[in-house]
Amino acid sequence: MNIAIDRRFMMRHPAHVIALGFGAGLSLWAPGTVGTLWAWASFVVLHLYFDAVQLAWLIGLGLPLGWWASTVTARHLGVSDPGNIVWDEIVAFWLVLWLLLPAGFWAQFGAFVLFRFFDAAKPGPVGWADKSFKGFGWRGGFGIMFDDLVAAFCTLLVIALWRTVT
């Protein structure tokens, strides 16, 4: 199925708006990176208005919302794990930043680089997570979200190890 992933497609269904990261996933260049940058920028703004508990609720609600939106959007596109779905990067990187903060720009930048490495290269457990839940329906939607959560965990693990040895 060859469906144009553009603004018109995004606006056809609320799930598309969410899954495509409010437009970040429409990027012609590295939509996952653009989605992660959008996550970083939006988290910086959200952090100004919400406390840690409210951010936790936002992330907690963002996970099942993303599962639903990813499931619907992948089905409508006819692709089991489209690269244009970036809500998984957004909510997973929000989780990284939520657990990392308070942290300065360079620590956040380091987390961004680590997260992008784990998400794009998919080493070890991230690769396993990426292969474990393929397909359409709720299982496939869960898989879209799951590998990014494992990438977030790996990012946080590296940061924790770094902080332990320095």
Q: pLDDT tens across 13-62, in order?
A: 999 999 999 999 999 999 999 999 999 999 999 999 999 999 999 999 99
Whether the per-residue pLDDT at 75 is higher than 90: the answer is yes
Query: Alpha-carbon distance 136 to 120, whole Å?
Result: 21
The pTM score is 0.95
Residue 99 within any structural domain of the chain: yes
Residue 2 within any structural domain of the chain: no
Residue 84 within any structural domain of the chain: yes
Residue 80 within any structural domain of the chain: yes
Query: Alpha-carbon distance 112 to 93, whole Å?
Result: 8
**What angle separates helix 124-132 from helix 105-121, to the nearest 10 degrees?**
50
Higher pLDDT, 58 or 4: 58
Q: Are 68 and 15 in contact (CB under 8 A)?
A: yes
User: What is the structure's pLDDT at 162?
Assistant: 95
Categorize the per-residue pLDDT at 166 as very low, low, confident or very high, splitting at 50, 70 and 90: confident
Closest CA to 69 of 145, 130, 7, 120: 145
The whole domain housing 19 covers 7-165
User: What is the structure's pLDDT at 3?
Assistant: 84
Query: Alpha-carbon distance 16 to 124, whole Å?
Result: 30
Residue 95 within any structural domain of the chain: yes
Q: In total, how many domains does the chain have?
A: 1
Residue 149 within any structural domain of the chain: yes
> Once rounded to an integer, what is the mean pLDDT over residues 129-155?
95
Give CA separation, 115 vs 30, 75, 92, 155, in Å. 14, 27, 9, 5
Residue 1 within any structural domain of the chain: no
